[in-house]
Amino acid sequence: MNKWIGALMLMIFSFQLSAAIEIYQFEHKQQEVLYSQLIDELRCLVCQNQNLSASNSALAKDLRHQTYQMVMEGQSQAQIMDYMTQRYGDFVLYRPPVKSSTVLLWLGPFILLLVGVWLLVSTLRKEKQQQGEQLSDEQHTHINKLLNSGDE
């Protein structure tokens, strides 16, 4: 049993390993930071649940190379992100911008949370109301009469 829990823990807490194997040379530390930031933020379109840094697909490799070159040319993060979205759409970004087509994506979880809280509160209230219903004096005497009559 403990073994299973251990295995489960490992699965839950294991960190994603990077599959990027190319070795790139950078002139400054900032370039390297920008590069790794970008390939973590950009999605691979072939293996859609992986970012560029984790994917082994040929396209991911090409796009990493493209990212590297653009970083070395001194392009900013925004410029490189723009370059990618122009070609592959917002889908290439793991954090798509908030706009009319993505607003449900951003707000959906909060809307669901609100609906959940509302359901919870209204259910609890209803239960409390039912519990809190008091008997009138008349009903009390009636009950006592019934209970006592059973003893005789």
Partner 1 sequence: MMKNSLPLILFILLVILLAVGLSLDPRKVPSPFIDKSAPQFKLPQLADSTRTISSEELKGQVWLLNVWASWCRACRAEHHLLNRLVQQHDITIVGLNYKDRDNEAKQWLEDLGNPYRHVAVDMQGLTGIDWGVYGVPETFLIDQQGIIRYKNIGPVSQSDLDDIIMPMIVKLEQGAL
Binding site for partner 1 (CB under 8 A): 45-46, 48, 58-59, 62-63, 66, 85-91
Whichever of 11 and 58 has its CB closer to partner 1, that residue is 58
Shortest reach from residue 120's CB to partner 1, in Å: 14
Residues 6 or more apart whose CB falls under 8 angstroms from that of 16 comprise: 54
Shortest reach from residue 90's CB to partner 1, in Å: 8
The C-alpha atoms of residue 68 and residue 20 are separated, in whole angstroms, by 12
Whichever of 89 and 109 has its CB closer to partner 1, that residue is 89
The C-alpha atoms of residue 70 and residue 77 are separated, in whole angstroms, by 9
Whichever of 48 and 149 has its CB closer to partner 1, that residue is 48
Report which DSSP code applies to 91.
G
Q: 109 — alpha (psi -120 to 50), left (phi > 0) or beta?
A: alpha
Shortest reach from residue 117's CB to partner 1, in Å: 15
